[in-house]
Amino acid sequence: MNLRTAFVGAGLLLSAALAGCTSDGTFTTFTSSYGAKTDAGYRLPAIPISKVPSKYHRQIVRFDTKEKPGTIIVDTSDKFLYYVMDNGKAMRYGIGVGRQGFEWKGTSRIAMKREWPVWTPPAAMIRRQPELAKWRSGMPGGPSNALGARAMYLFNKGGDTGYRLHGTPEWNSIGKAMSSGCIRMMNQDVMDLYNRADVGAKVIVK
């Protein structure tokens, strides 16, 4: 082997290594994507992402599934949401899920998407937490709103499931089971998913 061939071969190996995934199946991690930003006139604060376990940072991972690209698969056990992409990859996000007694599983579709949505606590929640009665007619959208910067509303054949994929200002709830059943995401993550997911997209919660 001459010097030129060896040099080219080494370059190809380096390029393959840079383009490939790590041993845990991760291609790209977006740890630097959690800074402050202004959106629709609202100031979204930075997330102290170093305090969030790295496995819950947004990342492209290897993901084998028979579901078509654009499908969303929620793994409530490991606290991950996968947005299925082409070529055996998925965008993976860390999530917070329903606490004990509020877990759910099933297949639905995104029927609506809303930016800076109004949150209206259901009657059952108000009975459990009377202090929420002041929002009976709806809590205006904004950085402190329980639905965060974006919400995607899940419906099935029976209509509105009452469950949402949504943002949250409580970034420290990611990776935990402490919601009333909805799937929580860091605001910067739910904004990213919102831009990828289409109305009508299939959502599998397992």
- Annotated catalytic residues are 166, 182
Instruction: Select from 163, 31, 181 the least CA-distant residue to 94.
Output: 31
Instruction: Spell 74-105 as b/e; 16+ CB within 10 A means b.
Output: bebeebbbbbbbeeebbbbbbbbbbeeeeebe
DSSP code at position 147: T
- As given in the structure block, the two tokens for residue 187 are 């605001």
Helix, strand, coil abundance in the chain, percent, nearest 5:
25, 35, 40
What is the rounded CA–CA span in Å between residue 74 and residue 206?
A: 6
CA–CA distance from 148 to each of 73, 104, 165 (Å)?
A: 21, 21, 10
